[in-house]
Amino acid sequence: MILQKIFHNLKSPGIADSWLVHTRLMQYFLKTGLKSYNFLVMRTGLFQQAITGSQGTGNTLDPTAIIDYNHVIIGDFTTIEKNVVIEKNSTIGNHVLIEDGAAIGSEGFEFRRVAGEVLPVHHTGGVIIHDNVRIGQRVCIDKSMQFPSTEIGNSSVILAHSHIGHGVKIGQDTLLAEGTMVGGHASIGNRVRIGKDCSLADAIIIGDDVVVPDRTVVTRNMQKMIHEPGNLS
């Protein structure tokens, strides 16, 4: 949690734009700090939290699916189709359907521009998929930077070619149509419907029972239904 607070504070514009951060000494300090953190995460178990894997009964797992069985929990009566990739620290509930080519628990998109270089921040979190969820073809769900995990609530449906960023929370009975892009750390309520090819900015909050039309760009928090599609920025 302390690490998460540090990363969050470094990202806020008050600190990121200040002259102190852009001094040569501070840039060197940040660069070595980030590089040593990445090294420790990759080579040692110091910041790693790994869950031990288990499998329920009645599952249909295709032999072409690649699942890290040692660190993935799978519930009962779950179907996983062809060429699905499920990475470390994923938890999948009961009666879940995951369709062809989905990538669950892959690395999130978090980079820092420090001292003229683009440095990655390695992710150690996971993904939790609750019961009765359907995940479409070629959907990508990224794992969170640290715990708590990216979460998808009960009875939600995510259709083909959608992208769910790191640290997203999706409530119950929510539908995300084809091609939806959800940015990192967004929070979506219960019974929400999001149309085709929408873009949701990072760290926004969408309340319960909201309906978003097709091809909408959402950059502000939303608490009620909107009727006209278009750019909300």
Partner 1 sequence: MNRGTYHDPRNGSRVAGDHEGILMRLSDYGTGDCEMIRDGMFSSLGSVFTRFPGQLVSATREDEIKKIQRNPSVTCVITVDRLVMQVPENLGILSAGDPWKLFHEIAGSLSRQKEQTLEPFENQISPSAIIHPSATIACRSVRIGKHVSIGKNVVIHEHTAIEDGAIIRSGSIIGNSKTPLSSGISDNDTMKPLGGVHIQRDVDIHANTIIDRAFFKGCTEIGTQTKIDNLVHIGPGAEIGNRCLVVACAEIGEAVRIGDDSWIGPNVTLADQVLIGKNVYITLGSAVTHDIGDDKVVKDNYALDRKRFKKVMRGM
**Chain contacts with partner 1 (rule: CB under 8 A):** 66, 83, 85, 87, 101, 103, 106-107, 109, 111, 113, 116-118, 120, 138, 140, 142, 161, 163, 165, 179, 181, 183, 197, 199, 201, 217, 219, 231, 233
Smallest distance from partner 1 to CB 54, Å? 22
Q: Which is nearer to partner 1, 150 or 172 (CB)?
A: 150
Q: Which is nearer to partner 1, 96 or 198 (CB)?
A: 198
Smallest distance from partner 1 to CB 1, Å? 26
**Measured between alpha carbons, how far is residue 63 from residues 59, 79, 83, 93, 185 in Å?**
12, 12, 9, 20, 33
Catalytic annotation on 166?
A: yes
Smallest distance from partner 1 to CB 131, Å? 25
- List the catalytic residue out of 123, 130, 166, 185: 166
Q: Which is nearer to partner 1, 26 or 140 (CB)?
A: 140
Q: Distance (Å, rounded) from C-alpha 58 to C-alpha 216? A: 40
Q: Distance (Å, rounded) from C-alpha 158 to C-alpha 137? A: 9
Q: Which is nearer to partner 1, 58 or 221 (CB)?
A: 221
Q: Which is nearer to partner 1, 26 or 85 (CB)?
A: 85
Per-residue DSSP letters for the chain?
-HHHHHHHHHHSHHHHTSTTTTSHHHHHHHHHHHHHHHHHHHHSSSS---PPPEE-SS-EE-TT-EE-GGGEEE-SS-EE-TT-EE-TTEEE-TT-EE-TT-EEEEPP--EEEETTEEEE------EEE-TT-EE-TT-EEEPPSSSSPEEE-TT-EE-TT-EE-TT-EE-TT-EE-TT-EE-TT-EE-TT-EE-TT-EE-TT-EE-TT-EE-TT-EE-S-B-S---S-SB--
Smallest distance from partner 1 to CB 200, Å? 8
Smallest distance from partner 1 to CB 29, Å? 20
- Between the two ends of the chain, the Cα-to-Cα distance in Å is 32
Q: Which residues are catalytic?
A: 166
